[in-house]
Structure 1
Amino acid sequence: MYRIFLTTLIVLLCCSSPLSAQTEDGQNPLMADPTIFFHNGVYYLYGTNGRGADNGFIAYTSTDLRSWKAAGKVLTPGDAFGTKGFWAPQVFTYKGRFYMAYTANEHIAIAVADNPLGPFKQEKQVPLEGPVRMIDPFVFFDKGKIYLYHVRLREGNRIYVAEMNEALTAIRETTARECLHAAPGWENTANAPWGVTEGPTVFKRGDLYYMLYSANDFRNPDYAIGIAASTSPLGPWRKEPINPVISRASVGANGPGHGDLFRDKQGRWMYVLHTHFSGTRVAPRKTAVIQLLFPKKKGDPIIKADPKTFRFLNHIQ
């Protein structure tokens, strides 16, 4: 079965359509699993470093969301947990400080800093304890409780949620429950035995909670983004029939996915994501943004991405 999956994946990659825009190394931040943190008029971009994911995290800054300048290393191995595989960071504020939840060595850790550019460090360089390998953290605060959405590597990449303690040093495993796993169809176009749902971002509008997530293996050109809804942060989650909301068909680039939601200076909801480098090459993955639109009247789609706003980010020295 696994050989069949690899063969299918290779065929998909080789036969996929070209990107709508091409850039060389140096003209794009080349961040996979990106997140943008907006603070005091500055956008901070973090992600899995396409030039070396074993060296911690670097950041880029921008004031216009278009041109980005390298801001250097913000988390260094030795200052916090991890020796390799530094993936998928999330940066947020909590009790007056800046926190970074991230993956390293296929475990989740949380480091802290006094500045969005770090250095992010841990007093005790340990990951969060869990029953299996866990990746792709997203910390969510709601009604006095703290939730960690994450992916557990158990019979596929499955999205879970669990409550956290106030110190952000542990999850309450008794509260853990599965949110989503890949189903046949657009979430598993290669019919792989190891299904993938990952990269959760959770937000609330009105009385409902929404989760943006990615599905398919990231090397598959059909890697895409869906949305699910719930009346509780613990679920159950209902996948929306409009899925996928972002795909290669809508943006003209292979493998769009695994990003994060943020608001720009004008208050518009934007989603930062990565794509494959080109129509025939997966890595290093490129960083892009697209605007998300919410319904204006009853009967409109719950959320949709505006393909006219899709663009790659520019990196200037």
Structure 2
Amino acid sequence: MSSRRFFIKGTLTGLALLAVRPKAAAASTYTNPVVARNFPDPFVLRHGGKYYAFGTTGQGRTADGRVFAVLTSTNLVDWQPAGGALTPPAGSEGADFWAPEVVLHKGTFYMYYSRGGGAIAATVGHQLHVATSSRPEGPYTEVAALPVPDSQFTIDAHPFQDTDGQWYLFYARDFTDTDNGYYPGTGLVVDRLVSMTQLANQARTVLRARHKWTLFEANRLMPLYGNRTFAQWHTLEGPFVRRHAGKYYCFFSGANFLTDRYGVDYCTAERIMGPYADSGSNAGARVLHSVPGHVRGPGHHSHVLGPDGRTEYLAYHAWNEAMTERRLCIDPLAWTAKGPRCLGPTYTPQPLPK
């Protein structure tokens, strides 16, 4: 993998001095970003009348020496720092930690994330892990690795519980072949969780890249795969699943996160393990995409219900103008006749979540 990807994707600057959006003078509106500091890959958990946001820290640590910055809120707009979430496991010095997601199961909070080799991640890869805590904000302790056979790069774990109570794990992994006309690159898969800390290792492909807009980089040299150069390397990442009107929607972010092509799209299936279809996404991201001159690279999102318990919001990151920080933003999601569409990205005052 290119060093640029490994250093930029997982970096969180200003950890010890993480600032949050001050309370709005006008109580009726908010304006994105709702957190005006770096907070990549945001996941928001709603629990006990409170919101907990978790963000990627890369190789950084919060002021309390932990991994993954935590913020809390009661309205999705006014956020307060709550330290770090994960106690760094022994032997992880210099490793990158990416994209945490948290679920509650039988009284225990489970955090899924990936960690890799930091400065040498281009040659040692990234793997999924899980940690547990008795409290939503942590501290979390790593309890297991989730190795994926024949894969050196697995990231962006997303746990999903189906209507029958069974848990599944969606994640992104690399594919180096061009079978069936697909581009090589990072794609999406799903596997059943035998327990909250063990995969069944019966993964099925959810979606691979076959559209030009998801290009990450042309002529990409990949040390992870024997210094092989790929004419076109594409990326699908950040899966997040919703069941709506009897169908499963696997949302994802596609393309190079540094570009204005980066955005959120989706594929659908009748069954949780697929097959999934992405018809209609050949022209670019449909759910959430850049707004020239105003918003660049919105994506790697999570879904969360607003304070009313009904309105669905996307929490996502987008670049600041200088492209030095990916900041936390929120906007409502609408289920339209053409499919799900974010009512954004917005950059002007919007009604506060109710």
TM-score, structure 2 as length reference: 0.73
CA contact (8 A) 1:289 1:311 kept: no
Q: For each residue in 1:71-116, what CA deviation from the matched residue of structure 2 results, as whole angstroms up to 9, or x when unmatched?
A: 0011121279785211111111001111111111111111111111
Aligned residue for 2:121?
none
Which of 252, 255, 274 is matched with 1:213 structurally? Answer: 252
In structure 2, C-alpha distance between the alignment counterparts of 1:74 and 1:59, rounded to whole Å: 6
Aligned residue for 1:140?
160
CA contact (8 A) 1:89 1:102 kept: yes
CA contact (8 A) 1:288 1:310 kept: no
In structure 1, C-alpha distance between the alignment counterparts of 2:266 and 2:32, rounded to whole Å: 28
Find the residue that maps to 1:303 and give its secondary structure.
strand
Does structure 1 residue 249 correspond to structure 2 residue 249?
A: no
Q: CA deviation at 1:65?
A: 1.3
CA contact (8 A) 2:251 2:265 kept: yes
Which of 170, 175, 178 is matched with 1:154 structurally? Answer: 175
Does structure 1 residue 270 correspond to structure 2 residue 313?
A: yes
Which of 329, 335, 354 is matched with 1:288 structurally? Answer: 329
Find the residue that maps to 1:186 and give its secondary structure.
helix
Between the two structures, name the one with larger relative contact order (CA 8 Å, sep ≥ 6): 1
CA contact (8 A) 1:80 1:111 kept: no
CA contact (8 A) 1:111 1:121 kept: yes
Q: Which deviates more, 141-150 or 71-80?
A: 71-80
CA contact (8 A) 2:52 2:136 kept: yes
Once the two structures are superposed, the pairs formed by residues 72-221 of structure 1 within 5 Å of their partners are 72-78=83-89, 84-105=95-116, 106-122=126-142, 124=143, 126-131=144-149, 132=151, 133-142=153-162, 143-155=164-176, 156-166=185-195, 168-173=196-201, 175-188=202-215, 193-221=232-260
Aligned residue for 2:228?
none
CA contact (8 A) 1:101 1:109 kept: yes
CA contact (8 A) 1:286 1:312 kept: no
Aligned residue for 1:303?
340
Aligned residue for 1:33?
41
CA contact (8 A) 1:53 1:85 kept: no
Structure 1: segments with no counterpart, 5+ residues: 7-20
Change (3 A) 1:29 1:93: farther
Structure 2: segments with no counterpart, 5+ residues: 6-30, 117-125, 177-184, 220-231
